Amino acid sequence: MRRGVIFDIDGTLVDTNYLHVTAWWEGFRRQGRDVLMVDIHGAIGRADRDLIDYLLPDVSDEEAQAISDTHAELYKPRIDEVRPVPGAGELLQALSDRGLLVVVATSAPKDEAERLIGITGGQDAVSALVHSGDVDKSKPHPEPVRQALDKSGLPPNNAIMVGDSVWDALAARAAKVGCVALRSGGIDTGSLLEAGAEAVYKDCRDLLYHVDETPIGRLLQD
């Protein structure tokens, strides 16, 4: 029976969340929209249009496109400056070495997702990638997690989601997959647990150090 771990990217494997926040903030500002950074931060993890609709329910298609274009204009040139979350590549490789499938499910486009995975140094451990082009809906909808299960052949009871946002935890719960959350994206422990995470760790390095004590450890012991 296949067993594996499904990873989010932004805030989970790479330290990008606050770069996204400032780029989105500027996009809203240029359209005359005053959106607090703390609210933008709470929406990170949703796909572009879903994030905009969540924060601005009255937004027009034209305005949303302008906001999204500004975000891309400001964020994409900085991808090469991005650094991995501590322990990210080591965690991916360690889980693969111990016989688990490592899958990534993200709302990022394919080319961006592959660049970010490469930044971790753990790209050789990743057996499947679900990106924005593979799905119609983003987290917290379960479709990205379900697609990750389908691509990898993992049954829900033999998979664990690792993410940094409440949207990751909610998507995992809706897909009937367990979830371990990380605080590396800036979300507090209480919010992550309330959304459905079974356990919360500081970052990938902390999770790797404690992995046998986590829900992932159950997969390694079966």
Rounded alpha-carbon distances, angstroms, from residue 190 to 132, 186, 194, 205 = 28, 12, 6, 20
Task: State the pLDDT at residue 97.
Answer: 97
CA dist., res. 22 & res. 63, Å (int): 18
DSSP structure class, residue 81: G
| pLDDT digits 0-9 by tens, 66-118 | 999 999 999 999 998 999 999 999 999 999 999 999 999 998 999 999 999 99
pLDDT at 222: 60
All residue ranges of the chain with pLDDT < 70 are: 222
The pLDDT, as a whole number, for residue 221 is 79
